[in-house]
Structures are given as structure tokens and as C-alpha cells.
Amino acid sequence: QLQLQESGPGLVKPSETLSLTCNVSGGYMYTSSYYWGWIRQPPGKGLEWIGSIYYSGSTYYNPSLQSRVTISVDTSKNQFSLTLNSVTAADTAVYFCASLGGSGWPPIDNWGQGTLVTVSS
């Protein structure tokens, strides 16, 4: 069973860059047919997909965030990362990392516990 754990600053200033890392344990990231993704949830609101990276390195982003988002993988550390540029208060949310495994278009089958990031000066 994979375990995922987010880490990074809990407070980011407006216009700056949000950076989070997800550490994966219990399995090797470079696994065929796995996606690694980021999801966020503003306080009291629903889930929003940020983007994902496929085991092959292909990235897929939410069109509404695409211009500000980068997801990358460091397989040597079994980690993947999220950067979100030019943040505003609207980016305040709990950020989850997740894995998606299976054939075709798979579900999110493992989640990190989530980390709250607040955008404020």
C-alpha cells in the first residue's frame, strides 16, 4: 500500500510561488501506468484538480491553472513536486497529493493527508 506525505510552507505571500513536495513510500514511483497528482480544496469548498504527471513524464494540468502550474518528479528521491506561481488569496486551500493507478483512465486510489497553505501577507 502506497503512502503519500505532503510537505512545504504553510504560509505564502501574495504574488510569490507556492512549492510543495510529496514523498512516496511503500512503492517505487517509476511504476508502469501510474499517475501522480495534486488536488486542492479551499476551506469549506469542493475538490479541485490541479494536475498530474504520468510515470513516463507527461504532464496534464487543469486548464484554468495551466499557466501557473508545474509538476515534476524526482524518481531518485521517490518524490514529486508542485509549484504554483503568482499566488493570490484564492489559492488558499488544503493541498493533497495523490496516486492514480490502473488501466485506462484510473481513479485516485491513494491520498496524502493534505497540507493547509494560506496565502497572506
Which position among 15, 25, 64, 86 is part of the footprint of another protein (CB under 8 A)?
64
Site for another protein, residues 87 to 106, rule: CB under 8 A: 96, 100, 102, 104-106
Nearest distance, CB of residue 52 and another protein, angstroms = 7
Which position among 10, 46, 56, 88 is part of the footprint of another protein (CB under 8 A)?
46
| 118 sits near another protein (criterion: CB under 8 A) | no
Burial 59-95 (b: 16+ CB within 10 A, else e): bebeeebeebbbbebeeeebbbbbebeebeeebbbbb
